[in-house]
Amino acid sequence: MKKICFVVYVSDGLHYRSITGAGHFSQIRLINALKKQLSPYYDVHFDPATMEEKPDLLVIPEPFKIYFANSEENVLLLPSIFFVTKDAKAIKEKIDDHFAGK
C-alpha cells in the first residue's frame, strides 16, 4: 500500500499556517474526513516528521508550494479548494492519476 502524507499545515518560522485558515477544529475535521475516506486505498499520514519511513508521496495544497519548492520529495500539488471543501473524491482521483503516471 502506498504511503501518502498530506501537508495541511506548515510552519513559517513564527506560527503554523493552515490550509483552511479557519482554525484548529476545522483542521481536525479535514484530517478526519480525509483519513476516513482515503485509508482503504492508501496508508494516510498528516505529519511527515512522525513517519518512520519516507512517504511515497507528499500531497500539498498549492498555497504551500513555496515551502516545498526545492524539496527532493515526491510532491503532488493540488488546488486548495479540494481541501477547503473536503473533496476526498477529487483528491483521490488526482493521487490515483499521479501513481498511474498520468
pLDDT tens digits, 33-43 = 889 999 999 99
Neighbouring residues of 24: CB distance < 8 A, sequence distance ≥ 6:
18
pTM of the model: 0.79
Contact of 19 with 83, CB cutoff 8 Å: yes
Residues 4-26: pLDDT tens digits?
988 876 555 544 555 555 555 56
